């Protein structure tokens, strides 16, 4: 299995959103996104897809099933909302990896499997996401849902899965 790097972003201080456009294409069916060292120091983060025209899809089209485990047991997060809620937990020291399946295909919902190690809360997360719209997505946008809480640290790397 070969992963081909498409984009690497080193986050700068005090950025309120991160738009990563034109990363999904017909070149690859599936993708891997790695988020290292947390993206920020306050846990607010909600990615959304950018559609084929580059528009942010803020519709109520994102489903989540997440297991979070720590030393007190396991918790579940489940949602059907207007963003990929808690896809990448945002906090210094968190590391996460996601497999995105068919985000560019207009004939598939876009789905994902994600794993994370969370320094914040000393926890482990494992989850699945779905974007229930049959549309082609060409990018992803990271937004904070509190505008005063910035992205300021870490890296985001996007790879195409070349067989």
Partner 1 sequence: MDIKLLNTTSLSGASSFSITAFTDEYTLYGFTYSGVQGSGSLGLRFNENGTPASTAGDYSEFRRVGTEGTEWVDNHQNSTADYIPLSWISMQSNANISGFGYVYGSQNSNRFTTMFIKGVQGTTSSVYHSYNTGRLEKNSVVDGITILSSTSSNFTNGKISIYGYK
Cβ atoms 69, 123 nearer than 8 A:
yes
Looking at beta carbons only, is 37 or 101 nearer to partner 1? 101
Q: How far is the CB of 128 from partner 1 (least distance, A)?
A: 3
- Binding to partner 1 by residue 144, rule CB under 8 A? no
Minimum CB distance to partner 1 smaller for 85 or for 153 = 85
Q: Is 101 among the residues that bind partner 1 (CB under 8 A)?
A: yes
Query: In 10 A of CB 120, how many CB atoms?
Result: 15
Which residue's structure tokens are 């959304």?
A: 48
Q: Give Cα 43 to chain centroid, integer Å.
A: 14
Choose which of 53, 71, 107, 148 interacts with partner 1 (CB under 8 A). Answer: 107
**Size of the chain, expressed as the number of residues it contains:** 163
110: closest CA among 34, 23, 15?
A: 23
H or E stretch covering 126? strand 123-131
Query: Taking the complex as a whole, how short is the minimal distance between the CB of residue 108 and partner 1, in angstroms?
Result: 4
Contact characters 27-66, partner 1, x per CB under 8 A: --xx--------------------------------xxx-
By CB under 8 A, is residue 113 in contact with partner 1? Answer: yes
Tell the smallest beta-carbon distance from residue 91 to partner 1 (Å): 23
Q: What angle do CA 77, 82, 88 make, to 5 degrees?
A: 50
Q: Kindly tell me which of 104 and 150 has the beta carbon lying closer to partner 1.
A: 104
CA separation for the pair 14, 73 (Å, rounded): 34
Which residues of the shown chain bind partner 1 in the complex (CB under 8 A)?
A: 1, 29-30, 63-65, 67, 76, 78-80, 99, 101-102, 105, 107-113, 127-134, 161, 163
């Amino acid at each position: 299995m070969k992963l081909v790097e498409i984009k690497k972003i080193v986050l700068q201080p005090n950025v309120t959103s991160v738009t990563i456009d034109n990363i999904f294409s017909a070149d690859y069916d599936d993708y891997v996104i790695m988020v290292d060292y947390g993206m920020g120091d306050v846990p607010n983060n909600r990615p959304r897809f950018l559609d084929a025209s580059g528009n942010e899809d803020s519709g109520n089209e994102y489903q989540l099933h997440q297991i979070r485990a720590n030393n007190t047991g396991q918790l579940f997060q489940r949602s059907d909302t207007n963003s990929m809620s808690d896809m990448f937990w945002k906090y210094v020291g968190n590391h996460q990896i996601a497999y995105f399946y068919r985000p560019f295909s207009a004939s598939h919902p876009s789905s994902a499997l994600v794993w994370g190690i969370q320094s914040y809360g000393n926890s482990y997360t494992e989850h699945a996401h779905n974007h229930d719209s049959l549309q082609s997505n060409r990018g992803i946008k990271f937004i904070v849902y509190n505008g005063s809480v910035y992205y300021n640290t870490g890296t985001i790397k996007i790879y195409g899965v070349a067989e």
